[in-house]
């Protein structure tokens, strides 16, 4: 039996790989063609060429659409990761064009309230210590990874298994918080009555109902409270700032707003803390562990978040 040919990079069919990646990602020749701005027939020929080379089908053509074969499922993520890495590094070169060779830009994603409460007071210390590392920070108000892929991301999410390197910064414990004068004015009431008698302050999450956090809290504690009413804000920082002003009750991550609690500007009027089921996670690609800048920032962020919250964040 003749030996099977071994693929080597000198004749890897890049156009065929691009075609298969576009079709496999969309499971459609039409959508794949639109993504690459080429015809469906051209994509089909490229995919057939790749299948012939491998001696294995990658797609199953069914009347209702396309399906990936086992070989296609194995190959698609490898191609996507490779193209992502090439795209990322080429864009990095473009972004750093004209800068000294020892400088580089680290793209970091953080949720808005984490950025305001944790990162902004601390990043200046990192920058003073490592002035040659240029940091571009961007933010999005949702769960999980942002659409625009960063070098390092802090995300608000549930624990989950993935192919990324994931470090837990902390799991979130929430409780109703308010200004001291609000707590004093309603002293002696049950938690249920207290929530009924005050405006509830909501934090909007992309793709989620506006009252989902308060609804989950009330359900876990068996409280009969209308959780749809009240004001909704884009970030937890805005909602908590509104509570500090003396109006409404926010459902707040006690760790995130520890300085405000320590200063007495916020109080927790009831011992009714629950585990929200979400946490803040630091995420990066496995291959970037070898990048000294990424590794340095990762270690610094983990160390910073492990300190007592009120200890090194000035109020």
pLDDT tens digits along 91-107: 767 766 665 544 678 89
Distance, CA of 164 to CA of 250 (rounded, Å): 33
Structure tokens given for 222: 């068996």
Q: Which residues of 276-310 are buried (b: 16+ CB within 10 A; e: fewer)?
A: bebbbbbbbbeebeebebbeebbebbeebbeeebb
Distance, CA of 107 to CA of 225 (rounded, Å): 42
pLDDT value at position 177?
Answer: 97
pLDDT value at position 199?
Answer: 96
**Which has the higher per-residue pLDDT, 235 or 3?**
235
pLDDT value at position 156?
Answer: 93
Q: In terms of residues, how long is the chain?
A: 315
Residue located via tokens 């876990």 = 220
**Which has the higher per-residue pLDDT, 257 or 1?**
257
pLDDT value at position 99?
Answer: 58
| Mean of the per-residue pLDDT values of the chain | 87
Structure tokens given for 5: 């040919």
**Which has the higher per-residue pLDDT, 11 or 296?**
296
Distance, CA of 31 to CA of 22 (rounded, Å): 8
Min mean pLDDT across 41-50, 132-141, 299-308 is at 299-308
pLDDT above 60: residue 285: yes
pLDDT value at position 87?
Answer: 81
Min mean pLDDT across 6-20, 23-37, 103-117, 301-315 is at 301-315
- For the whole prediction, is pTM greater than 0.75? no
Beta strands in the chain (DSSP E): 59-62, 65-68, 104-109, 133-138, 152-157, 165-177, 200-203, 231-233, 249-253, 274-284
Structure tokens given for 105: 């830009």
pLDDT above 80: residue 305: yes
pLDDT single digits (tens) 133-177? 889 999 987 788 887 888 999 999 988 888 889 999 999 999 999
pLDDT value at position 194?
Answer: 97
Q: What is the DSSP letter of 9?
A: G
Q: Please state the rounded mean pLDDT for residues 64-85.
A: 88
Distance, CA of 67 to CA of 64 (rounded, Å): 10
Distance, CA of 235 to CA of 203 (rounded, Å): 6
pLDDT-derived band of residue 9, with 50, 70 and 90 as boundaries?
confident
Min mean pLDDT across 123-137, 168-182, 212-226 is at 123-137
Q: Please state the rounded mean pLDDT for residues 193-212.
A: 90
pLDDT-derived band of residue 69, with 50, 70 and 90 as boundaries?
very high
* Percentage, residues of the chain above pLDDT 70: 92
């Amino acid at each position: 039996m003749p030996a099977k040919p071994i693929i080597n990079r000198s004749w890897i069919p890049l156009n065929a790989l691009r075609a298969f990646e576009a079709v496999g990602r969309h499971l459609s020749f039409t959508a794949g063609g639109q993504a690459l701005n080429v015809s469906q027939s051209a994509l089909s020929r490229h995919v057939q060429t790749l299948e012939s080379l491998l001696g294995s089908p990658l797609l199953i053509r069914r009347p209702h659409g396309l399906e990936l074969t086992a070989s296609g499922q194995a190959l698609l993520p490898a191609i996507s990761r490779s193209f992502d890495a090439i795209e990322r590094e080429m864009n990095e070169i473009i972004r750093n064009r004209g800068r000294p060779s020892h400088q580089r830009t680290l793209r970091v994603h953080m949720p808005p309230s984490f950025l305001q409460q944790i990162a902004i007071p601390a990043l200046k210390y990192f920058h003073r210590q490592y002035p040659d590392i240029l940091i571009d920070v961007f933010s999005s108000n949702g769960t999980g990874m942002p659409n625009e892929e960063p070098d390092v991301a802090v995300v608000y999410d549930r624990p989950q298994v993935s192919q990324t390197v994931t470090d837990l910064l902390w799991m979130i414990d929430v409780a109703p918080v308010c200004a001291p004068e609000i707590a004093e004015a309603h002293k002696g009431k049950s938690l249920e009555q207290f929530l009924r008698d005050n405006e509830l302050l909501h934090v909007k999450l992309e793709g989620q109902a506006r009252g989902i956090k308060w609804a989950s809290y009330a359900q876990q504690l068996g409280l009969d409270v209308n959780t749809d009413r009240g004001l909704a804000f884009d970030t937890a920082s805005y909602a908590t700032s509104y509570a500090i002003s003396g109006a409404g009750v926010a459902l707040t991550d006690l760790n995130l707003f520890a300085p405000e609690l320590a200063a007495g500007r916020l109080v927790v009027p009831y011992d009714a803390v629950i585990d929200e089921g979400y946490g803040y996670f630091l995420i990066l690609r496995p291959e970037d562990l070898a990048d000294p800048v990424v590794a340095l920032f990762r270690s610094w962020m983990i160390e910073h978040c492990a300190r007592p919250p009120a200890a090194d964040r000035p109020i």
